[in-house]
Structure 1
Amino acid sequence: MKKWEYLTAPLLIHNTKMILDNFGSDGWELVQIVPGPNAENLVAYFKREKA
């Protein structure tokens, strides 16, 4: 059975692609993006398989 680890991270609207690319290069898969505490922030949820 696969085991997963999860990460929640702030995501700035003006720098979204670079942030997502950085997490992706570390093996994190984007699961969902939800509104953050203010209009300029989002919250991203990631997962990756545990080694």
Structure 2
Amino acid sequence: MSESARVRWEYATIPLLIHNTKAILDSWGVDGWELVTVLPGPGGADQPVAYLKRPVG
């Protein structure tokens, strides 16, 4: 793959509030962020963390 055809990504991790998950993810999605995964945060399953990505440029 040529250098000019390679997609560059930027990443973000955000804490999710269980009672407001959809609104939080929708807000980031409007800005072009794509959800990659959701994993338990350092505080356990009650504090999930979302991992997102979007193309740079």
**TM-score normalized by structure 2?**
0.83
Quick check: which has more Rg, 1 or 2?
2
- In structure 1, distance between residues paired with 2:24 and 2:10: 19
1:3-48 C-alpha deviation (Å, 9 max, x unpaired): 0000001001110000000000010000000012144321000000
Gaps of 5+ in 2: 1-5
Q: Which runs of 4+ in 1 moved over 4 A?
A: none
Aligned residues: 51
The percent of aligned pairs where both chains have the same amino acid is: 59
Partner in structure 2 of residue 42 of structure 1: 48
